[in-house]
Amino acid sequence: MSAQASILSDRKTALEHYQENGFHIEYNALTAQECDALIAAGKDLENAKNGTFRPQMMPHRSDPRFLQALKIPKIKNIIEMLVGGTPAGLQTEFFFCKPGTRGFSMHQDNFYVEAPYGVFASAWIALTDTYKEKGGLIVYPGTHKEGQLATRKLSLPPDAGQDPNANNEETIIPEKYKPIYPSVPKGAALFIHGHLVHSSGANTTSEFRYVLLNTYIRAGEPFRPGRHAQRAEVAL
- What residues make up the domain containing 70? 11-218
Residue 44 pLDDT > 70, yes or no? yes
CA 29 to chain centre: 14
Question: Please, which pLDDT band fits residue 3 given cuts at 50, 70 and 90?
Answer: low
DSSP collapsed to 3 states, 25-66: EECCCCCHHHHHHHHHHHCCCHHHHCCCCCCEECHHHCCHHH
Beta-carbon contacts of 191 under 8 Å, excluding residues fewer than 6 positions away, are 18, 23, 24, 25, 26, 78, 79, 82, 121, 122, 123, 124
Residue 180's domain is classified under what CATH number? 2.60.120.620
Q: Is residue 108 part of a domain?
A: yes
Q: Is residue 225 part of a domain?
A: no
Rounded distance, CA 137 to CA 15, Å? 20
Rounded distance, CA 184 to CA 124, Å? 9
Q: Is residue 2 part of a domain?
A: no
Residue 1 pLDDT > 80, yes or no? no
Beta-carbon contacts of 221 under 8 Å, excluding residues fewer than 6 positions away, are 115, 116, 119, 120
Residues β-bridged to residue 124: 190, 213
Mean pLDDT of the chain: 96
Look at the chain and report how many structural domains it folds into. Answer: 1
Q: Is 112 within 8 Å of 119 (Cβ atoms)?
A: no
Rounded distance, CA 61 to CA 80, Å? 22
Q: Is residue 197 part of a domain?
A: yes
- Of 155 and 129, more confident: 129
The SS3 call for residue 16 is helix
Q: Is residue 206 part of a domain?
A: yes
* Percent of the residues in the chain that have a pLDDT greater than 90, as a whole number: 90
Q: Is residue 1 part of a domain?
A: no
The identity of residue 102, as a single letter, is R
Phi, psi of 100 (to 5 degrees): 90, -5
Q: Is residue 230 part of a domain?
A: no
Question: Please, which pLDDT band fits residue 208 given cuts at 50, 70 and 90?
Answer: very high
Q: Is residue 233 part of a domain?
A: no
H helix or E strand, kind and range, residue 69? helix 64-70
